[in-house]
Each structure stands twice: as structure tokens, then as C-alpha cells.
Amino acid sequence: MKYIFSLAIVVAIFLVTLSSCGNSEIPQTSSSQDSQNATTPYPDPDETSTSETSVSDNTPTPNETNNANETNNANEANSTQPTHRDPIIITSMQAQEMIYNEMIYNEMTQASSIIILDVRTQAEFDQGHIQNAILLPYDEITATALTIIPNKSQTILVYCQRGRRSNIAAWALADLGFTAVYDFGGISDWHGPIIVPGHMQIVFNYFGQLPEETVSPFDFTTTQYISQDGLSLTFTLHGYATRTYMRNFDRTLFWPNYLYSVHTLTITTPGGQLIQEITGLETQHPIASAYNMYGLSFDDFNFDGFMDISLWAFPSGSMMNAFSYFWLWDVHAGLFVQNDSLMEISMGATVYTVPEDRQIATFTRHTASSFELGRYEYRYGNFVAINHQLHEFVFYDSYGNPWEGWRIAETNHATGIVTVTYEAEETEG
């Protein structure tokens, strides 16, 4: 019995050994192919033999593989996207694009979904801030932000002077639970509108080179009654608007400056029939509005009952050598005729009519303490000087005695006589 048990053990060991050896010699073609197909469903053609290869039933179909790839790509994209819980750093240009895409900058309202948050001090804010910005100093955010901005999903654009405080403020807002906070650094990099309290214009940060000037055509049309019997004509100025830029002394700010140049005046009936076209004009006017009409005005300069035209030329940007074009209505020709004598009188002078005297009056400023008044009459197509008064503020009278007042030298052009009078400076008692 003992020998039989021992023999059984030996036989079992032999069978186990034989089984192990046999398995090591079995080809692995099928399982190896399955493994290759599972990991590479579309083998590289350069690595595939010319013989036909069997594919196991577990190999994914092309549709299944595409779906799996799309799922994996989506998961990878989601895993790399920043959470809106953290502040997002953007450039000032990106911030401007966000604002402009939301609404036109000069029409922003409280209903906007974007808040521009200035986290500097009150003094810095008063010296100049981005248009429509709300002031909330960075060290007050934790205590007051939720009161000022109760909606935590509100899009908030944060800036300071250079970028340090805006970073602190952006993270403080994120810690309070705001989910759309964007930090675009400092106002020193901002190229958009900046409001300076007390300044007449919207100014812009000077950073780098000034913007290039732009030139664009413009037309201005107005209708004017020429006579009391109802004759009216339409006047259209044609010219160019040039936008340049000016900057302050320390080169920290610059602002747009406009100059309007007229080259043609077209006169038509209200129905559009051409009456006259005056070309070759050279004017420069710094203001554009319907009120001043680019220097165009109307008056009866020769007192014949018909309105005449004047157009301020302002050729070199100085009142000291400015003149105006003048055209007087010719009843017989039915046209406006340029009057050279009145143009010459207007050189450096303000011209206006005195209907009760049927005269033209002029005012010319020479210096801060000297000016001149003139009177002219219209005679046979020309304006003739009648008299002039030169007013000068002096500190001595005609005898050399100390005295403060105005010395008035009046010249009568008909007789050539000059009369000098003195008027004491009036002082408050």
C-alpha cells in the first residue's frame, strides 16, 4: 500500500512537469494578434505584413474607435480648462474687446453685465480713471465687495495702476465666491477712454507712439433766407476733417484734436438746382458743430436788403493773421461775388455790422493792453475807412506825469486829423 501511494505521487509530479513543458511550446499567434489589434486597431501600413491578418471579435469597429477618441479628447480638454473660480489674467486689449463687444463704450448703463473695478485710492481715481469704472480700493474688497456687487456671477474687470493691487484684489474677489473675475493689470497700459474730472474732453493714456492722424471727408449743409421776400438757398461746405493728437507736458496723457478744412462751397436751390460752386478755398476751423457751421455765417454787409456770405479762413491757426472770405449777393447776376476789400479788412480783425449807421465795424487785438476799433462804409463795391481808434493802456499822461488809464488816438480818414484823448481807468470804490 505504501508503494502504491508513492507511485501515485511520482506520476502526479510527472504529469505536472509534462504539462508545463507542453504549454511553453504552444504558439501564441492568436493571442498575440488579439493583443496587437486591441492596442492598435489601425496598424501602420509600413508595419503590417502583406499576408492577411485575422482580427478577433474583440477588436473595436471604426465607429466605436472614433467615439472613444472624441470622449477622450473632451475629457482632456475639460481637465485643462481653468476654473472660473480663479481669476483670469488678460491684457488691457482683451479687456477693451470684452467691453466693446458688450456695448458701445459711451452708452454703458448700470444694466451692463460687465463691471470695471478700479482698486486704487480715491486720489488716484480722481486724477483719471477708465470710463464707467467703479472705485473700490483693494484693501476694502473683503468688507464691502458683496454690498456693491451682490451678484457673484457678474463679470468683473479689475485694474489698478501697475498691476500689483489688481492681482491682490482679483484673488480677494475669488475668495468671496465671484466666478468671473478678470485681471487686466494697470491703467498705465490702457489705450481706451480715460475720464479726468474737470477736463473738457475724454483723454487717452500716452503709451508709446501717438496714434497716426486720420483724414476723412465731410459735408455740411444749411439753408438760409437771402431776402425778406422769401428767397432761400441751400449752402453746402465740402472739406476734410483731420484728427491729430496732442499731449501734455510730461507725456502722460494725450487727447484728440480736430481740424476742419473747407475747399468747396456749393450753392443750390432748396430743390437741388445748382446756382453756384465756389472752389479753391483754403480754410481751417478747429470746431465742428451745427452752431458755428465751420466758420460759415450770413449778414447784410452792404445793407442792400440781401444776405451775404462770410467764411472764416483761419489759414495758419492764429487769430493775429486770420481773415475771412466774403461774398456779396449781386441782384442782377443772381450770384455771390467775392469782395476783396472786405477780406483785406478782416485780416486779424473781427468784422461785424452796425445797421443803424450803415457801417462795418472792426475790432483788432494787438496786445493785452492795446486794441484798435475801425469803421468802414460801402461805396461803389469797396469798403472805405472812415475812422480808427487806437486804444493803449499807459502809465503816464501826455506831460510825463504818473497816471494810469487809456490813451485813445482817433484818426479821421476824411480829414487826416488825429485826436488824442485820455480816459482814466475806473477803479472800484
> In the 8-state DSSP scheme, what is residue 104?
-
**Cα–Cα distance measured from residue 44 to residue 259, given in angstroms and rounded to the nearest whole number:** 70
> In the 8-state DSSP scheme, what is residue 103?
S
Q: Is 154 exposed, middle or buried (0-12, 13-18, 19+ CB in 10 A)?
A: middle
**Angle between the 141-148 and 164-175 helix axes, to the nearest 10 degrees?**
70
341: which 3 cell numbers?
Answer: 476789400
**Cα–Cα distance measured from residue 357 to residue 260, given in angstroms and rounded to the nearest whole number:** 35
Residue for grid cell 510730461 = 250
> In the 8-state DSSP scheme, what is residue 396?
E
Active site residue 160: yes
- Measured in degrees and rounded to the nearest 5, phi and psi for residue 107 equal -125, 20
Q: Which of 160, 203, 307, 390 is flagged as catalytic?
A: 160
2: which 3 cell numbers?
Answer: 505504501
Task: Say whether 305 sits in a helix, a strand or coil.
Answer: coil
39: which 3 cell numbers?
Answer: 492596442
**Cα–Cα distance measured from residue 271 to residue 277, given in angstroms and rounded to the nearest whole number:** 16
**Residue type at 200 in one-letter notation:** M
SS3 of 119-155: the string is CCCHHHHHHCEECCCEECCHHHHHHHHHHHCCCCCCE
**Cα–Cα distance measured from residue 52 to residue 39, given in angstroms and rounded to the nearest whole number:** 18
- Burial state string for 13-49 with b = 16 or more CB within 10 A and e = fewer than 16: eeeeeeeeeeeeeeeeeeeeebebbeeeeeeeeeeee
SS3 of 262-300: the string is EEEEEEECCCCCEEEEECCCCCCECCCCCCCHHHEEEEC
Asked if 360 and 345 count as a contact pair (C-beta separation under 8 A), the reply is: yes
Residue for grid cell 479687456 = 95
**Cα–Cα distance measured from residue 207 to residue 251, given in angstroms and rounded to the nearest whole number:** 9
Tell me how far apart the terminal alpha carbons of the chain are, to the nearest angstrom: 153
How far from 76 is each of 39, 80, 354, CA to CA, in Å? 20, 6, 85
User: Hey, which residues are catalytic here?
Assistant: 160
